[in-house]
Structure 1
Amino acid sequence: MVTTVPAGTSDDEIADMRAREAVRSAELAAQGSLLRLWRPPLQPGQWRSWGLFCADDAERLEAVLASMPLRAWRQDTVTPLSPHPNDPGLRS
């Protein structure tokens, strides 16, 4: 997820957007749609995140991503994942 804040956006607008994103992220986590978020190494001024989401299909994932306020400023690249037979998380 790469976020580009539009030129001329005020600090107050940015703070509001980040606050709304935090609230929505917490809601999605509580629903089981957002599993994890990471920050990769960043250059000055960059906003990037990696997220692990759970959705039944691409349409549902798109609905989840579109529900996040930062989507207005963000481009998402989706990489679908499937279970690996040696995943230690699959062991009981």
Structure 2
Amino acid sequence: MNEFLVEVTTDIPDGVDPAEVDRRRAAEAVRAAELTAAGHLVRLWRPVGQTRSIALWRAADEAELRDKVLDTLPMRPWMTSVVTALQPHPNDPGKGGVTG
């Protein structure tokens, strides 16, 4: 599985019924849990004071990430995303790459 950093901004259109927003947010939490269990969603952050999120995702490739993972999110119609493919760094302390 490849790793991807995904920055998402959600912009709910004016006039959307608040009950619909609540319904989608609840469904989004359920779907995020499913994607975590499937090994796709690894970490999720929200920068302090911002409405965007940053997540670490895993997928076979960017097409799978977009088509079979991100596009299944209930809030997706209101999201814009920036996907950055990642590769291991030789000095990554999380992978034992730093030598001393």
SS in 1 for 2:33: helix
Show the counterpart of 2:82: 77
Partner residue in 2 for 1:88: 93
Percent of paired sites with the same residue: 48
Q: Paired residue for 1:52?
A: 56
Picking from 5, 8, 23, the partner of 2:15 is: 8
TM-score w.r.t. the length of structure 2 is 0.82
What is the rounded CA distance, in whole Å, between the counterparts of 1:75 and 1:9 in structure 2? 17
How many residues are treated as equivalent by the alignment?
Answer: 89
1:54-84 CA-to-partner distances (Å, cap 9, x unmatched) read 1121111112111111111000111111101
Runs of at least 5 residues in structure 2 that lack an aligned partner in the other structure: 1-7
C-alpha displacement at 1:10, in angstroms? 1.8
SS in 2 for 1:76: strand
Structure ranking higher on relative contact order (CA contacts 8 Å, 6+ apart): 2
Which letter maps to 2:46?
R
Q: Which amino acid aligns with 2:64?
A: R
Cα shift at 1:53: 0.2
With the length of structure 1 as denominator, give the TM-score of the two structures: 0.89
Letter in 2 for 1:37: L
> In the TM superposition, what whole-angstrom CA distance separates every residue of 1:34-70 from its partner, at most 9, and x where no partner exists?
0011001335xxx311111011211111121111111
